[in-house]
Each structure stands twice: as C-alpha cells, then as structure tokens.
Structure 1
Amino acid sequence: MADVAARLTILFVCTGNVHRSPLAERLLAARLPEARVGSAGTRAQHISGMHPATRSVLEQLGGNGAEFTSRMLRPELVAEADLVLGLDREHRETAVRLWPVALRKCFTVREFLRLAHGGAAPPREAISRAAAARGSLAPVSGAADGIADPCGAPYDVLLACGQEIDGAVATLAALLQERGRAQGTEC
C-alpha cells in the first residue's frame, strides 16, 4: 500500500450534501479505500445527515451510509484536497471562489473524466494534465458536465441519479487505480 502522504484526498461537492456528493463520496471510498474521500455542500445544513432515500439507494449500490454527516463547503476543505469534483459547474465555481488558487484541481466529475483520459500517469500528474487540457477540447454544455439534482424527485429519479453517479465513480476509480499502478503506488 502507498505511503499515507502519497494518498489522494478527493472532495466531492454538491448543493445540500445530502444526495449527490454523499453518494459519490461513499461509492468512491468503497472502491478506493486507500484514498481519503470526503464531501461537502455549497448550501449544506450543518449536522444534517444523508437523506434516508439516498442512503437506501447508496446501500442498494453497495455503499455504506453509516455515520454520514453533511457539512458546508469551506475554504480549508478545498485547500486540503488534491482533487475537488463538483456535481455540476456551480459547485466547481463555488469551490474556486472560496480558494482561487485551487482552479487547477477543481472540475466537475464528468469534466475531469473527459479531460483526464489518455496515457498512464501518476494520479497527481493526471490532475495537472486535466487542468492543462482545459480549452483544448470542444466545449460542452453545462448539462453535459453535470449530474442533475434529485432533490424532491421521486425515488426512481433518485435511483437513476445514483446509478449515474456510480458509473462515473467506477470510471474515476479505474482511472486513478490504473494511474497509481503506472506510478508503482496506489492512490
């Protein structure tokens, strides 16, 4: 296993930190237990938990929702993360406003996956390459970069959102594991 200092810290960001970012956090943590994975919300209510229906979806997808507490996105969370992944552009932009020097490590989940493809590289180098690739690919719509908020939607919409996040997280985990192996370490 990689040295603790070499592990990645990944922060997922959504609006309330009760649906999308907790799903992404817990699903990635299950796939990459060696990485430090967290989440926060741009408008989270302190000390609220994961929505019960979201926890049900998470468990259906193989994640663990135990002891989750939502938290507000703060500058120090952005500063401490190696990679900040918003569930839509608004979340990425809020993270950058809180800690402007973090621009090169803040993406939406889908944006990062689109920009980080390509040859094997250590995870931190992949993040740098993704930042450098901004502007070199054809622009996409904001909707194409985001995952829709299921807040207030019926359970089947929440489940579809969870499945969409699970697919993105599976791709992210595979990308980071592959790149960690290329470096000779894990994330």
Structure 2
Amino acid sequence: MNHSPNELIMLFNDLFRESHRTILVRGGDEPEYRPADGDNGLAQIVFAHGYYASALHEISHWCIAGEYRRTLHDYGYWYCPDGRTPEQQRAFEQVEIKPQALEWLFSIAAGTRFHISVDNLSGDGAANEQAFRLGVRVQASHYLTHGLPHRAGLLLDALKTFYGTTDTHATNWHRDAERIAPSTSAKNSSRKTETV
C-alpha cells in the first residue's frame, strides 16, 4: 500500500486545525515545531523531506507535549545532533521511548512498517539498543492497555478508520512487537533452536 504524506496532512489538519490551532506541514532537511505566532496564527509541525515516517514521528512528539511546551519552538528542547556522546545518547534514548512508542502504534494503524531509531549514526550508535527497544515495546503496550494521550488517541482512531485497520490493529501490533523487541521466551526458544 502506497502512503502519501498528503493523506496524513489531510487527516491531521482535519482533526487539529480548529481544535488545537495546529497544522502538519511538509518541510525540507530538518523537522521542527513552530508555535503559533499570535492569537490567530497556527502552530506548525514540520516534517522532513515529505517522508511519511518523519511526519508520524513529529506528530508523536506533539501528542506528548503539554500545553506550555506547545508554546515554545521545538517544545523548548535542545536537540543534540547525531554524533552524541554515550551520556548524551542515554539521555536521548530515555526521551525517545514515548514518542517512538506512539509512532509505532500510528504506523501499525496506517499499515506502514515502523523502524526504531537510535539516531546516532555518526556516534557510537545506541547506548543500549536492546534496552531501548524493550522500553519502546513496554511503553507501547502500556498505551494499549491504559490508553493513549488524548490527541494521540484521536489520531490513532482516525488512522485506523482511514486505512481500515481497526479490526487488525491489536493483532498486527503483537506480531510486530516480536520483530522490534522479541520477548524473553521467544529469544530463549530461538537460542535453543540454534544450538540443536
């Protein structure tokens, strides 16, 4: 299934343009969040290069940001670019668990393949990729069990309806969970198979 970012722009803007004065915008090299300028302005979630996955990721950050953070450029966070030190990478991974968990659930709803990202190609890679993957899986499972943040829940429902995945979302997520972060029992079973 081909996914056009225009579909996502339409869905997002229909949901949040009026209620949250926020729109999704196709951008260039770097994603960013631009708060509304003035009472009549619109906040903009700018995603990189027109990539569908980039849009889902940037939306995920917006869904987590509180009301005050949404008044600040890039939610007031300083982004440490690729090439982070191990300490910076650990901090990055801690902050990325929740947005990547939402992005994953959105991807399943849209019928696209989710790719976990440690975003440190010029550095030493992940501080602990296995722990990061597991953290994202645990958080996504928590969202499914206890509910998503309000705006994220609205978008998830819209994606499932638009792409026809309402009935398959839970099954597809459980299947994909083993690809992203295999459970301990699955790892042990595969090790036993490899040694036989």
TM-score, normalization by structure 1:
0.28
- Between structure 1 and structure 2, the one with the greater Rg is 2
Q: Which has the higher helix share?
A: 2
| Structure having greater relative contact order (Cα 8 Å, sep ≥ 6) | 1
TM-score, normalization by structure 2:
0.27
